[in-house]
Chains A and B, each alone.
Chain A
Amino acid sequence: MAKRSTTISNWSDAYVATQQRLSEPLWWFPYPILIAIGMVLILTGHLVFAINPRMGHPASLINFPAQMRPDSAIWFSMTPIDHDIVITTNDRLIFRWPQDLTPAQTTQPFVAYLRRRVAIEIDSAALLKRAPNTPLTAVIAADQRLKYLHLRPVIAALAEAGITSYAFETLVIASTKRASSHGSSSGGHSPE
């Protein structure tokens, strides 16, 4: 009984203390919502304007001062993940096949995708009434861990899709860009 009265007394003390505390203005109250608004502003700004299109593509490129790509291209990345070759395209499609065994049927969905992209590029060029100076190029962002035998099915798929020009993408860091003697222009390009 005595214990119960002590508990009630504690509760009533806590109630009185809270009542006193809440009778004064709480100056900290608006600031958490300002933090949330700031986060939303920053994230929205990045999502709308400045997202690196290569985010989400896990390929680790080599640093090499290669020339910049002048025209649009079909872009995709190649990465070895869990004994598989994983290809992610710039429109977020994923193709996957085993590293060691690659029958021709395995790459058929990728060939179909490449054919579809070629048709889209041709349609776009026709609608723009503009013929590109360079042939349609497939830019491959190949991971550094890959070996040449992993690339062979991709080259075969490109040939089957009628793409005769392809290129390896490299990362041009600032020092190598300055040292490069054959870089044609400054600035990067997007995979679009």
Chain B
Amino acid sequence: MMYQSKISRTKKRLSDDRWSMPAVLFSLFGLLAILTFGLRAVTLAAAYGVVPLEIPVVQAAINDPGLHGYREEPRISLTQSTPAVVLTADAFYFGDLTAFTTNLSGIRDKYIIRHIDGAPQLQPLLEQLTAWVRDRAQHQNVPPTKVLVLIPAGDIPLPIVTQVVAGLRTSPNFERVILSNGLM
């Protein structure tokens, strides 16, 4: 009898469809908080960096005889002795620009650093390249330049090119990196 009465009271209570005000407000603000968090997570901008590169230009100074007599002077020029690095799927090759242009078939003016398990060996490249530039400056009287030409093969993924450029720019010897169109 007592159970039937209890069941009857419970049925009566549950048949009342009035919503509890605190529960409604609490769930409403909870829903808004979740939506705000989700939308903020989707739309928030992250931090972005850049790996800078340059395109060489041909010097074409314009005379300015009128006002200030301004005259353009190149800061760095590409020459035949500018260091160049070729990046292929198998190895790094480095030498000067002559070695990869007019003397492409020569075998005594290029140096090779092979990838290990497909991974480019950037640190050995930097060490060897720095030593080669220093040795050239001391023994062959070739002045060191702060510019380097990188010639990646066409099938190299862009993330690898980006990281190689960033790695080369960490060297104090190469402040500027120029991407070449490729070997013809």
Contacts and interface: CB of A to CB of B under 8 A. Distances in A.
A11 interface: no
Contacts of B42: 52, 55
A7 interface: no
A28 B36 CA distance: 24
Contacts of A155: 55, 179, 181
Nearest to A34: B28
Contacts of B36: 42
Interface in B32-49: 32, 35-36, 39-40, 42-49
Given A66-B51, A144-B158, A148-B154, A188 B46 contact: yes
Interface in A149-192: 149-152, 155-156, 158-159, 163-174, 177, 182-183, 186-190
**Interface of chain B, main secondary structure:** mixed
Contacts of B57: 164
A43 B43 CA distance: 11
Contact of A148 (B21, B55, B156): B156
B65 interface: no
A166 B55 CA distance: 8
Contacts of B165: 168
A64 interface: yes
A52 B45 contact: yes
B151 to A, nearest CB: 10
30 contacts: A35-B28, A39-B35, A42-B32, A46-B40, A46-B43, A52-B45, A53-B45, A61-B48, A65-B49, A66-B50, A67-B49, A148-B152, A148-B156, A148-B158, A151-B161, A155-B179, A155-B181, A159-B55, A163-B55, A164-B55, A164-B57, A166-B52, A167-B52, A168-B50, A168-B51, A168-B161, A169-B49, A183-B49, A186-B47, A187-B47
